[in-house]
Amino acid sequence: MKTLSSIISLSILFLLFSCTPIPKNVSKSEAMPSIYPDYADVTIPVNIAPLNFLIRDEVEAVQVKAGDITLNARGNEVVFDEDDWRELLAANSDIEVTVTTLKDGKWTEYRPFHWQVVKDKVDPYLTYRLIEPDYEIWNNLQIIQRCVENFDEKALCDYRLTNNQCMNCHATGNQNPQLSMMYVRGPQGGAVLNQNGKLRKLAIKTSDMVSGSVYYGFSPSGRYITFSTNVIIPAFHSRADKRLEVYDSKSDVYVADLQENRIIRSSLLSDSLTFETFPTFSPDGKYIYYCAAPHVQLPQELQQLQYALVRIPFDEATGTIGTKVDTLLNAKGSSVCHPRISPDGKYIVYTVADYGTFPIWHQESDLQMMNLLTRQIDTMAIVNSPRSDTYHSWSSNSRWLVFASKRDNGLYGKPYFCYIDSNGKPHKPFVLPQRSPSFYDQTLKSFNVPELSKGEIPFDAVDVEQLLQQEAEPFH
């Protein structure tokens, strides 16, 4: 159906292009063109899909010159041919883009901008959950995999085939599509584990846990996952500009052995006086990084609930947790969330918010990057926005970072890609390109927890529907 709709769209575009005005008597402007999404002066990977955009103005026609491509279009939308685009990216490392528009019968050429094309590819597949930016409820959720090299999509889990149950985000182990997990909550639900395309339904919960697993990450071998159990409480700000607050009233961290269906515990990770959450393995599997905060009275002292970035050793060979917790970052006046380490082990990127554990609803949430060797912190000023920037994930080559940002309107999250060069310098991010430039204007869905993988995930929503009929494997 997607193919058909694209054929129809292309046919419509063909008809439009066939009688498109060509610029003449052009006047030059020093202003930047008002384009959406903001693709001006961004760094892009050689394998990204066309950066289609629109002009935020009531223009009659537009001409775009990008490298060797000259594109004339009626209306305000700029949609590149996919083959031409691939050739353009393969042949150029610095593309100058000149936009000329026709408005009120006058052509205006704007100041050109550049696309810096890097040979470092971004992992070609992106998974995310589509959800309304609502507060404590859900309806009609989907987990989608999108190929970022083109516009192909497939549903990994779909509300219509799961009795409209809640589902949580899909995470891969080491960006490997053959190792991944996601959750379907509610009756018949469970953790859906993909190991080389074979699906298993797991009940990763024992009676001593405060909840089932919530945030998780795979060990390098894929044998273990480290996960948190969280009692999540939604609360409401009375100030209209703040909306929702979500916090944990209890949380602990565990490790699950996926081979023996066994839970590995440590009193250091389930301390009743400490909140532990957001665990992730280091790429060498020697540490579990997570966030920890001392107990406070909730919700009264919520604004004092500030998490530090810590780590504890782990031995993958024996499946044992170490005995000493190191603190990497305990920033006063801010709370650390979602630590994710680059696959090469050099950097750790995390979110900082004023307080709490739900940065997606904190407008001040920003990404930060720590060099794990020097402990130097980069505030990633070029990456962050005045609105929430969080839920990041690395590409397998450690050169690309994808994260969810609400920078456009504070409500709807979108996946942004950011290049981290070999010197560890972040570049201006760009939003996931769409076939239609007005897609983001028209969607009522928020992109939640984007995660990259090196290949296509080998199952789909129908496989998940069938799996959910089975009994879940218990853990002990």
Partner 1 sequence: MLKRLSAIHSRLLIVFLWAIGCFGFFQGYYPYHFFYKEQNQLFLWTNDYLATYFDQPAWLACMVGDFLTQFYYYLYAGSTILTLSLLLLMGVLYAALRRIGLRKGWAFGVAVLLTTLEAFCHLRYDFRLASTYALIGGVSLFLCTFQKRYLLILFSPLAYWLFGYGVWVYLLLSIIKNWKWMIPTSITVLIGVCFLKGTYLLPTDRLYTYPGVGKLTMPNWYLEKQFQIDDEYYFGNWNKVVQLVESEESLTSEMLFFYNLVKAQQGQLPDVLLRYQPNVLGTFYKVGPDTPMLTIKNMNELYYALGDMTFCERATLMACVFSPNNRNNRMVKRLAECSLIKGDTAAAQKYLGLLENTFVWRQWAKKAPQSKVYAEKATMMNQQDTISLSDNAHAIMMQLLDSNPKNEVALDYILCSTLLLKDVKSFKRDYDRYCLSSPRIRKLYQEALCIWLAAEQAPQEQWQLYIKDMSVMQRFMQYNQQRGNAQFKDTYWYYFDKGKAPQI
- State yes or no: residue 91 binds partner 1 (CB under 8 A): no
x-marked contacts with partner 1 along 108-137 as a string, rule CB under 8 A: ------------------------xxxxxx
Minimum Å gap between C-beta 237 and partner 1 is 6
Query: In the complex with partner 1, which residue's Cβ is closer, 82 or 408?
Result: 408
- The amino acid that residue 342 corresponds to is S
x-marked contacts with partner 1 along 150-169 as a string, rule CB under 8 A: -----x--x-xx--------
Q: Are 357 and 337 in contact (CB under 8 A)?
A: yes
- Map tokens 């050689």 to a residue: 46
Q: How far apart are the C-alpha atoms of 10 and 142, rounded to whole Å?
A: 27
List the one residue from 26, 29, 116, 138 that touches partner 1 (CB under 8 A): 138
**Sign for the pseudo-dihedral over CA of 446, 449, 454, 455:** negative
Residues 60-89 that bind partner 1 (CB under 8 A): none
List the one residue from 241, 273, 381, 471 that touches partner 1 (CB under 8 A): 241
Q: Are 74 and 17 in contact (CB under 8 A)?
A: yes
- The amino acid that residue 176 corresponds to is N
Please state, in angstroms and as integers, the Cα–Cα distance from residue 269 to each residue in 2, 26, 298, following that order: 46, 66, 20
Query: In the complex with partner 1, which residue's Cβ is closer, 98 or 385?
Result: 385
Residues 424-463 that bind partner 1 (CB under 8 A): 436, 438-439, 441-442, 444-445, 460-462
- DSSP class of residue 160? G
- State yes or no: residue 243 binds partner 1 (CB under 8 A): yes
Task: Take residue 323 and report the two structure tokens written for it.
Answer: 């005995």
- State yes or no: residue 57 binds partner 1 (CB under 8 A): no
Q: How far apart are the C-alpha atoms of 366 and 368, rounded to whole Å?
A: 7
Minimum Å gap between C-beta 322 and partner 1 is 36
Count of C-beta atoms within a 10 Å radius of residue 235: 15
Minimum Å gap between C-beta 442 and partner 1 is 5
Query: In the complex with partner 1, which residue's Cβ is closer, 150 or 226?
Result: 150
- State yes or no: residue 147 binds partner 1 (CB under 8 A): no
Q: Are 369 and 424 in contact (CB under 8 A)?
A: yes
Q: How far apart are the C-alpha atoms of 317 and 138, rounded to whole Å?
A: 40
Query: In the complex with partner 1, which residue's Cβ is closer, 9 or 379?
Result: 9
Query: In the complex with partner 1, which residue's Cβ is closer, 245 or 378?
Result: 245
List the one residue from 267, 376, 409, 470 that touches partner 1 (CB under 8 A): 409
Query: In the complex with partner 1, which residue's Cβ is closer, 234 or 474?
Result: 234
x-marked contacts with partner 1 along 4-23 as a string, rule CB under 8 A: xx--xx--x-----------
Give which of 372, 464, 448, 459 is closest to 412, Cα–Cα.
448
Q: Tell me which stretch binds partner 1 (CB under 8 A): 85-93, 218-226, 235-243, 272-280.
A: 235-243
Give which of 193, 210, 194 is closest to 202, Cα–Cα.
193
Residues in CB range of 274: below 8 A, 6 or more apart: 292, 293, 294, 295
> What is the H or E stretch that residue 310 is in?
strand 308-315
- State yes or no: residue 36 binds partner 1 (CB under 8 A): no
Residues 304-343 that bind partner 1 (CB under 8 A): none
Query: In the complex with partner 1, which residue's Cβ is closer, 132 or 152?
Result: 132
Query: In the complex with partner 1, which residue's Cβ is closer, 316 or 354?
Result: 354
x-marked contacts with partner 1 along 351-390 as a string, rule CB under 8 A: ----------------------------------------
Query: In the complex with partner 1, which residue's Cβ is closer, 1 or 317?
Result: 1
Q: How far apart are the C-alpha atoms of 258 and 15, rounded to whole Å?
A: 55
Q: Are 115 and 44 in contact (CB under 8 A)?
A: yes
Q: What angle do CA 264, 269, 274 make, to 5 degrees?
A: 155
Q: Backbone phi, then psi, for 202, in 5-degree steps?
A: -115, 145
- State yes or no: residue 408 binds partner 1 (CB under 8 A): yes
> Which residues make up the interface to partner 1 (CB under 8 A)?
1-2, 4-5, 8-9, 12, 132-140, 155, 158, 160-161, 233-243, 245, 299, 302, 408-412, 436, 438-439, 441-442, 444-445, 460-462
